[in-house]
Amino acid sequence: MQDTTLPKILIVDDEPLNIDLLRETLKSKYRLIVATKGEQAVTLATSKQPDLILMDIMMPVMDGYETCEKIKDNPETSHIPVIFVSALNEVEDKGIGYDMGGNDYITKPFEMSDVLACIETHLKLTRLTKRIKELETESSKKTISDNLVKKIADLNTSINGNTQIIKLFWSSLEPIIKNHASLDIPKNINDKISNLGEIVSQIINDTREMALLIDSFQGKRKPEK
């Protein structure tokens, strides 16, 4: 059974001899998929998501140029590097290949060492690009996390400040409430005045608990090294 961690390469060519030559050289280093038609290559690129495509140009119905263009126009496959492998060796031919979205161009007849070097170069570029995107995502998440912690810290400060204000307010109001509670006033008003003390005490307790929860959250967040 082939190692599933090996890079996956899609070979697109309508000539069996070309396919066999590439397959024989690449099979020990890569997982290989073969398409003999442009339409088939477009479908396989989407469903199999190869890491790289080796594309012949001269194929019937849909040639390599058009096939590459369709692959690059699809957001699901546009990231896949396409290397043209063709007997067309004029500067104009190569220019068309790059215009269609090709990443590189190898002319036939070729040395397999050149093909291998080209493949490895583009696979490394793909891995590097992926890593850069991951780092950008991690950086974005860290920025969001830092902003969240700052907002929580600001909220904590606000809660602590409000608690002190409530305490100060209550220290002035409590003697008045206790005095009113002893007066001969209607029971419903007296009950409301008495309950006010309990309400203020509950507010102070709730804000204190909220502050402790926020402190706990900040304490669990490990500092960056």
Q: 83, 102 in Cβ contact below 8 A? A: yes
What pLDDT is recorded for position 140?
72
Reading across the β-sheet that carries 52-55, which strands appear in turn? 31-35, 8-12, 52-55, 82-86, 104-107
Contact criterion met (CB below 8 Å) for 122 and 143: no
Is residue 225's pLDDT more than 60?
A: no
Check pLDDT > 60 for residue 218. Answer: no
Whole-number pLDDT of residue 19: 94
Q: What is the pLDDT of residue 33?
A: 97
Cis peptide leading into residue 7 (ω within 30°): no
What does the DSSP assignment read for 99-163? HTT-SEEEESS--HHHHHHHHHHHHHHHHHHHHHHHHHHHHHHHHHHHHHHHHHHHHHHHHHHHH
Cα 80 to Cα 28, 75, 171: the distances in Å are 21, 10, 71
C-alpha to C-alpha distance for 86 and 55, rounded to whole angstroms: 8
The answer to whether residue 123 scores a pLDDT higher than 90 is yes
Give the mean pLDDT of the chain. Answer: 80
Q: State the Cα–Cα distance between residues 176 and 96, nearest whole angstrom.
A: 90
What local confidence, expressed as pLDDT, does residue 220 receive?
52
pLDDT of residue 39 exceeding 90: yes
Which of these, 40, 17, 9, lies nearest to 87 by C-alpha position? 17
The residue with greater pLDDT, 87 or 180, is 87
pTM, to two decimals:
0.63
Sign of the C-alpha dihedral, residues 178, 181, 184, 188? Answer: positive
85, 116 Cβ separation under 8 angstroms: no
Give residue 73's pLDDT band: very low, low, confident or very high (50, 70, 90). Answer: very high
pLDDT at position 50? 97
Cα 224 from chain centre: 21
- State mean pLDDT over 158-166: 58
pLDDT of residue 183: 53
Q: Give the pLDDT confidence of 98-107 residue by residue, as tens digits.
A: 999 999 999 9
Strand-pairing partners, residue 75, are none
